[in-house]
């Protein structure tokens, strides 16, 4: 009897939390940086801008980060909109290449790959 009462209480508490996956997962953007050979690049400085003007002037970044050993950097708690990405490491960058994301989907982990040369 104790086991069934505990199980019922557990189910009740679990269902009564009211949380859904969309409330728990923030809108985020996971960026993979690769070089012209297709290899992941660690230590790339990645800056996210909220509009084209800020990107061109290199002003008012939304967030900044460095890629890890797998060439990945994640930006969390973003608005669902288009962003502009500046990626630089030494003399390599994505300028003149792809710099604009698609419209991010809200409450999801959005993914993009950017090439630097």
* Domain ranges for the chain: 25-116
Alpha carbon of 52 to those of 24, 26, 45: distances in Å? Answer: 30, 24, 19
Tokens of 101: 């994301």
Average of per-residue pLDDT values in the chain: 88
pLDDT tens digits along 45-91: 999 999 999 999 999 999 999 999 999 999 999 999 999 999 999 99
**CATH no., domain 25-116:** 2.60.40.10
Q: Tell me the pLDDT band of 98, cut-offs 50, 70 and 90.
A: confident
| Sequence-separated contacts (24+) of 47-55 with Cβ below 8 Å | 47/85, 47/86, 47/87, 48/75, 48/78, 48/83, 48/84, 48/85, 49/83, 49/84, 49/85, 49/86, 50/79, 50/81, 50/83, 50/84, 51/84, 52/84, 52/100, 54/84, 55/84, 55/86, 55/99
């Amino acid at each position: 009897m104790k086991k069934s009462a505990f199980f019922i209480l557990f189910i009740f508490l679990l269902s009564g939390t009211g949380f859904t996956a969309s409330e728990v997962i923030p809108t985020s953007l996971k960026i993979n940086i690769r070089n012209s050979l297709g290899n992941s690049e660690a230590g790339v400085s990645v800056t996210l801008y909220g509009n084209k003007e800020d990107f061109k002037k290199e002003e008012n970044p939304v967030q900044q980060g460095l890629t890890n050993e797998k060439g990945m950097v994640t930006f969390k708690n973003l608005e669902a909109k288009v962003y502009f990405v500046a990626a630089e490491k030494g003399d390599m960058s994505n300028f003149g290449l792809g710099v604009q994301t698609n419209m991010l989907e809200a409450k999801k982990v959005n993914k993009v790959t950017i090439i630097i040369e």
